[in-house]
């Protein structure tokens, strides 16, 4: 069961009567702004970060077994 052209026209008229022309244009404007903002955000995400903004990687962590061995050596007299 699909929507034919007469159904779509009636649906559009009902929406127009319920919301009014001004409110629909506001909603479409807000929708357009949202799409534009989304596209800008996606474009910023794909750009590489400048070198000053990059965070250096943390130093490698020592293995747990080595730390346990060091603790055992320091606690024994």
Query: For 18-59, how does the pLDDT look when each residue is reduced to its tens digit (9 = 90+)?
Result: 888 788 888 889 999 999 999 998 887 776 666 666 676 777
Q: Which residue has the higher pLDDT, 27 or 63?
A: 27
pLDDT interval class at 10 (50, 70, 90): very high
Measure the CA–CA gap between 23 and 72, rounded to whole angstroms. Answer: 73
pLDDT of residue 17: 87
Domain boundaries, the chain: 21-45
Q: Which residue has the higher pLDDT, 69 or 24?
A: 24
Measure the CA–CA gap between 21 and 50, rounded to whole angstroms. Answer: 46
| CA of residue 39 relative to chain centroid, distance | 11
pLDDT of residue 75: 56
Closest Cα to residue 24, out of 34, 13, 8, 35? Answer: 13
pTM here is: 0.39
H-helix or E-strand spanning residue 44: helix 5-46
């Amino acid at each position: 069961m699909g929507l034919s052209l007469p159904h779509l026209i009636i649906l559009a008229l009902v929406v127009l009567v319920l919301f009014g022309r001004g409110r629909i244009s506001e909603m479409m404007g807000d929708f357009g702004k949202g799409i534009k903002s989304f596209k800008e955000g996606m474009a910023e995400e794909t750009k590489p970060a400048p070198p000053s903004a990059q965070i250096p990687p943390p130093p490698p962590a020592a293995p747990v077994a080595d730390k346990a061995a060091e603790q055992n050596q320091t606690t024994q007299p």
